[in-house]
Amino acid sequence: MTRRVTKAIFPVAGMGTRFLPATKSVPKEIMTLVDRPLIQYAIDEARAAGIKEFIFVTSRGKGALEDYFDHAPQLEQLLRQKGKTDLLNTLESTNMESGAIAYIRQHKALGLGHAVWCARRLIGDEPFAVILPDDVIAGEKPCLQQMVEAYEETGGNMVAAMEVPAEKTSSYGMLDIEADMGAMVRTKGMVEKPKAEDAPSNLAVIGRYILSPSVLENLNNIEQGAGGEIQLTDAIAAEIKNGNGVYGYRFQGQRFDCGSKSGFLQATVAFGLARDDLREDLFAYLHDVVNMGKAAE
């Protein structure tokens, strides 16, 4: 029987250089889609998947993230006095049970693999999830929940997988497929950011993982790889070499790369259109913009 996944690591120590100058003082994960910061989407997804312990790997300048999960007694009292129960309720999702959240520092930005490794003592000997908050996934059933359900059948390690066009393979870890079972693939290798001609398939890994604690041991032995960083992909690929299963899971849902400007803007439009209170206005605006563009052609 597989062990339940109750811990999740949120690596948020990156510098977010693609959003400079904003990220000079605002952590990328606090940037908002409509009215909720990216980190809130990630936390909601983790909760839906049964996660009970939330481990943030942070760095200098990420204080706003820690504050976000604190109680705000003055603000809450003001809202209560004014009878603004709707707003009070929206604050509730930001509250964390005492002791459920932990912050660990990554002292040097040595890559995603290193960030995950920094949390090793808090993980111990349990399977754990990794969520990259800049990958926001809209779907009926939250992506990590889909993966946890699939993982209960497979055990081993599981990564969220998505088909990408050939010209994009150099932006992702790509899966080498051994067996394709439809929603799930069993992999025989992983390659970090290959050129299109070197990519073993068109299935890319995106920012959701369920990993066995042996990945943390593998990270002890991983040298700096592509881009001078310690790559999580290499530590997962080492699992395959060690004879442990690594599965790719084709999740249901739409993924937005909110680490890029274009992806962030697309997510803003999509989440805006999904909101009853905004849809009509936003749709009318977009309609006008598109028509103006057409007229200009």
Residues that bind ligand UTP (CB under 6 A): 11-18, 28, 57, 106, 109-112, 114-115, 132, 134, 259
Give the residue among 101, 4, 98 at the shortest CA–CA distance from 43. 101
Is 106 or 157 the residue whose CB approaches ligand UTP more closely? 106
Residue 225 beta carbon to ligand UTP: minimum distance, rounded to whole angstroms: 13
Give the residue among 143, 103, 145, 125 at the shortest CA–CA distance from 11. 103
Residue 47 beta carbon to ligand UTP: minimum distance, rounded to whole angstroms: 19
Is 11 or 272 the residue whose CB approaches ligand UTP more closely? 11
Is 13 or 216 the residue whose CB approaches ligand UTP more closely? 13
Residue 255 beta carbon to ligand UTP: minimum distance, rounded to whole angstroms: 14
- Any idea of the CA torsion for 147, 148, 151, 156, to the nearest 10 degrees? 100
Residue 116 beta carbon to ligand UTP: minimum distance, rounded to whole angstroms: 8
Question: Whose CB is nearest to ligand UTP?
Answer: 14
Is 184 or 211 the residue whose CB approaches ligand UTP more closely? 211
Give the residue among 177, 173, 127, 172 at the shortest CA–CA distance from 148. 127
Residue 84 beta carbon to ligand UTP: minimum distance, rounded to whole angstroms: 33
Residue 132 beta carbon to ligand UTP: minimum distance, rounded to whole angstroms: 4
Is 238 or 258 the residue whose CB approaches ligand UTP more closely? 258
Residue 12 beta carbon to ligand UTP: minimum distance, rounded to whole angstroms: 5
Is 24 or 279 the residue whose CB approaches ligand UTP more closely? 24
Is 203 or 230 the residue whose CB approaches ligand UTP more closely? 230
